[in-house]
Amino acid sequence: MNSIIPYLIVGAIVFVLGIFTIVYKKNAVGILMGVELVLNSVNINFIAFAKFVDTGIHGQIISIFVIILAAAEAAIALAIILNIYRMKATVDVTQLNKMKH
């Protein structure tokens, strides 16, 4: 608890699980979940370094920006996914091979 290593290990495990989710899921929403896992694990790394290495809390500011970007990314991705679903009636990313209908 008073060492940086447990936090880094949690971050690493969740990062790996996020990458695995991105590769494993065929559903576009599932891939989005993997991206959220990756972003969260990056956040915990930033905050852990802000507590244990930095004298200020600059890491926390960075993770605020990461959260902002994650929110924007989720909104846009969902809009795109809904559009694809309306056009092709599927969200299976292996079935999508056209940029425009």
Residues 64-83 that bind another protein (CB under 8 A): 64-65, 67-72, 74-76, 78-83
Is residue 14 within 8 A of residue 37, CB to CB? The reply is yes
Asked whether the beta carbons of 21 and 37 are under 8 A apart, the reply is yes
Among 94, 98, 99, 100, binds another protein (CB under 8 A): 94
Q: In degrees rounded to 5, what are phi and psi of residue 27? A: -75, 135
Q: Which of 23, 98, 99, 100 binds another protein (CB under 8 A)?
A: 23
Distances (CA, A) of 30 to 24, 26, 50, 61: 9, 7, 31, 28
96 binds another protein (CB under 8 A): no
Residues 39-58 that bind another protein (CB under 8 A): 40, 43-44, 47-48, 50-58
Q: Quick one: which of 20, 96, 98, 99 contacts another protein (CB under 8 A)? A: 20
